[in-house]
């Protein structure tokens, strides 16, 4: 699967190239997003915290997420045929922070995990998880948009979803 346009270099007259990226980041800090951890098997397992997870299609079951090409997980993820997608619960703020922190031992104690289908690292006690086969990696600026097809999963884990808003982790309010 390939992209029909090169998102990495596409510009238009309506969007000046001089737009202040700090404004862009500030706008998205106001957008509440669910928190996920994406994992991949490798010589050493890799993973990172993501708020860019999106359902793309129900038939076939496709999802997407973004990853910076400068992320420590990118070299492994750029070649991984399968990934794990973990929806984090409000009880997992520290786990989210661990997988977001540069240089952290993400799979060392106290992270509890086991190898799932296709060797994908699966985190324990998450509200839901999927294992997915990568079908595309699309260039998008300093990131790649990864599209993957779900092949296994479990929606029955404990907890309510964790959210990211205004630069911090939050729980849903009733």
Q: Is the pLDDT of residue 104 over 60?
A: yes
Count the Cβ atoms, other than its own, within 10 Å of residue 170.
14
Q: Taking residues 79-90, report their average pLDDT.
A: 97
| Angle at alpha carbon of residue 60, lines to 126 and 57, rounded to 5° | 70
- pLDDT band for 18, please (50, 70, 90 cuts): confident
* pTM of the predicted structure, to 2 decimals: 0.87
pLDDT digits (tens, 9 = 90+) for 156-166: 999 999 999 88
pLDDT of amino acid 174: 65
pLDDT digits (tens, 9 = 90+) for 52-77: 999 999 999 999 999 999 999 999 99
pLDDT of amino acid 7: 53
Mean pLDDT of the chain: 90
Give the residue from 125, 100, 116 showing the smallest Cα distance to 47: 100
Provide DSSP, the chain.
---SS-TTT--BTTB-TT--HHHHHHHHHTS-EE-EEEEE-SSS-EEEEES--EEEETTTTEEEEEEETTSTTHHHHTT-SEEEEEEPBGGGHHHHHHHHSTT--TTSTT--EEE-GGG-EEETT-SEEEEEEEEEEEEETTEEEEEEEEEEEE---SSPBEEEETTEEEE---
Q: Is the pLDDT of residue 99 over 50?
A: yes
pLDDT of amino acid 171: 86
Give the residue from 89, 86, 46, 44 showing the smallest Cα distance to 63: 86
Give the residue from 148, 109, 108 showing the smallest Cα distance to 130: 148
pLDDT of amino acid 116: 97
Q: Is the pLDDT of residue 145 over 60?
A: yes
Q: Taking residues 1-27, report their average pLDDT.
A: 65
């Amino acid at each position: 699967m390939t992209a029909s346009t090169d998102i990495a270099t596409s510009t238009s007259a309506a969007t000046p190239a001089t737009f202040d990226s700090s404004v862009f980041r500030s706008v998205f800090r106001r957008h509440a997003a669910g928190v996920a951890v994406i994992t991949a098997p490798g010589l050493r397992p890799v993973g990172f915290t993501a708020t860019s997870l999106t359902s793309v299609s129900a038939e076939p079951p496709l999802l997407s997420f973004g990853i910076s090409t400068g992320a420590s997980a990118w070299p492994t993820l750029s070649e991984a045929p399968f990934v794990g997608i973990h929806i984090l619960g409000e009880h997992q703020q520290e786990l989210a922070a661990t997988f977001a922190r540069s240089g952290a031992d993400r799979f060392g104690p106290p992270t509890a995990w086991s190898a799932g289908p296709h060797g994908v690292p699966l985190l324990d006690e998450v509200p839901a998880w999927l294992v997915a086969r990568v079908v595309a990696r699309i260039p998008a600026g300093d990131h790649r948009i990864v599209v993957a097809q779900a092949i296994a999963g479990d929606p029955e884990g404990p907890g309510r979803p964790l959210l990211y808003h205004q630069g911090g982790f939050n729980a849903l309010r009733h």
